[in-house]
Chains A and B, each alone.
Chain A
Amino acid sequence: MLKLYDYELSGNCFKIRWFLNILGIEYESVAVEFYPSKEHKSAWFKEINPLGQLPVIDDDDFRLRDAQAILVYIATKYDSSGNWYPSHDASQTGEIAQWLSFADSLTATISSARLATTFFFDFDLEKCQTGGHELLRILDEHLWFQEQQQLEWICRGRHPSLAEIACFPYVALSEEGGISRQEFAAVRRWTDRVKRIPGFIGMPGIFPAGS
Chain B
Amino acid sequence: MNSLEIAKSCSTYSCWHPLFALEDLEEGGVPVYTQLLDQAVLCERLSEGKVSVRLADQQRGPDRQAEDLHSQVQFGFVWACIGPNPQLLFDIPEYHEPDRRNVCTGVFGVEVSAPRAIENFLDMGHFPFVHTGLLGIEPHTEVVDYQVTVSDEPNEIVATECLFFQPQAAVGSVGGVVTEYVYRVPHPFCAILYKSCPFDESRRDVITIFVQPESEERIRAHTMMSIVDPESSDTSIRLFQQMIFGQDKPILENQFPKKLPLDPLDEISIRADRVAVAYRKWLASGGVRYGVIPGAQAT
Contacts and interface: CB of A to CB of B under 8 A. Distances in A.
Interface of A: 8-9, 31, 33, 35-37, 39, 117-120, 175-176, 178, 203-205, 207, 211
Contact of A205 (B107, B129, B247): B247
Contact of B249 (A31, A36, A37, A204): A204
Nearest to B108: A118
B235 A33 contact: yes
Interface residues of B, number: 23
Interface in B98-129: 106-111, 129
B129 A211 contact: yes
A204 B110 CA distance: 14
Contacts, number: 54
Interface stretch (B160-168, B193-201, B236-244): B236-244
Nearest to B244: A204
A204 B250 CA distance: 9
B108 A8 contact: no
Nearest to A206: B250
B29 to A, nearest CB: 15
A39 B235 contact: yes
B91 interface: no
Where chain A touches its partner, the secondary structure class is loop
10 contacts: A8-B239, A31-B235, A33-B235, A35-B106, A36-B107, A118-B110, A204-B242, A204-B244, A204-B246, A205-B246
Contacts of B253: 175-176
Listed from nearest, the 4 A-B pairs whose CB atoms lie closest are A204-B246, A204-B247, A9-B246, A8-B243
Given A9-B243, A35-B106, A119-B108, 8 more contacts: A8-B239, A31-B235, A36-B106, A37-B235, A37-B238, A204-B245, A205-B246, A207-B250
Contacts of A211: 129
Contacts of A205: 246-247, 249-250
Contacts of A8: 239, 242-243, 246
B111 A178 contact: yes
B24 interface: yes
A176 B249 contact: yes
A176 B250 contact: yes
B246 A36 contact: no
Contacts of A36: 21, 24, 106-107, 238
A33 B239 contact: yes
B250 A35 contact: no
Contacts of B220: 120
Contacts of B236: 31
Contacts of A178: 111
Given A31-B235, A36-B24, A120-B109, A175 B243 contact: no
A86 to B, nearest CB: 34
Contacts of A204: 242-247, 249
A114 to B, nearest CB: 10
Nearest to B242: A9
Contact of A117 (B106, B111, B235, B250): B111
Given A117-B109, A119-B109, A33 B238 contact: yes
Given A36-B107, A211-B129, A118 B239 contact: no
B225 to A, nearest CB: 14
